[in-house]
A = this chain, B = another copy of it.
Amino acid sequence: MEMPVHGFQTVDSLDFRRGMSRLGAAVNIVTTKAADGPYGFTASAVCSVSDTPAMLLACLNRTSSCFPAFEKAQYFGVNTLSSGHEALSNLFGGKTAMAERFAGGQWREGCSGSPLLADALVHFECELVQSLDLGTHRVLFGRVIGLATGDCEDALFYVARRYATLSTREA
């Protein structure tokens, strides 16, 4: 149980997750290359921080099997998923071994070595510039050193505990 601080108690984690399920988000696979191979996890907690310089953030659970790899990483990739990537999202969001996760998609190495998903909606290659531990998670802040958009124009979202898609085709 959380102790109240300054008089207000923290909301229960189950209530928080129920509330957060209404705050939908794009689905991403965050990747890095470690000495023993590629690592990656599915993340909806990814957002833009600044455009000058270009920076984004991604949140990672510190109990994740990926955590030791990201703890040592100097670079990481953020691969935003398209419609049709539901199975890949599930693969990178579960307990599957890393080699099996990466076998589920087509990857190439970016200039920093980070695995980039060939058919991502968009991918960002980042240099880790700061990190911050809060609660169960580490927030990774990345300076964006490369990006490319893919051919698919339908974005994958996760909202109300299910997948949905929205078009990104420019009018």
Residues of A within 8 A of B (CB): 2, 5-6, 8-13, 15-26, 28, 44-57, 59, 74, 80, 111-112, 121-122, 124, 127, 129-130, 132, 134-137, 139, 141, 143-149, 155, 157, 159-162, 164, 166-171
Q: Do the beta carbons of A45 and B47 come within 8 Å of each other?
A: yes
Instruction: List 23 A-B pairs, Cβ < 8 Å.
Output: A2-B52, A6-B74, A10-B145, A11-B144, A12-B54, A13-B52, A16-B54, A19-B122, A19-B148, A21-B168, A24-B157, A26-B159, A44-B47, A45-B49, A47-B47, A50-B59, A50-B135, A50-B136, A55-B134, A57-B139, A129-B134, A134-B141, A164-B166
For A155, the chain B residues whose CB sits under 8 A away are 22-24, 159
Are B171 and A16 in contact, with the CB atoms below 8 A?
no
Give 3 closest A-B pairs by Cβ, nearest first. A50-B135, A16-B54, A8-B145
* A145 touching B11 in the complex, CB below 8 Å, given contacts A6-B127, A171-B162: yes
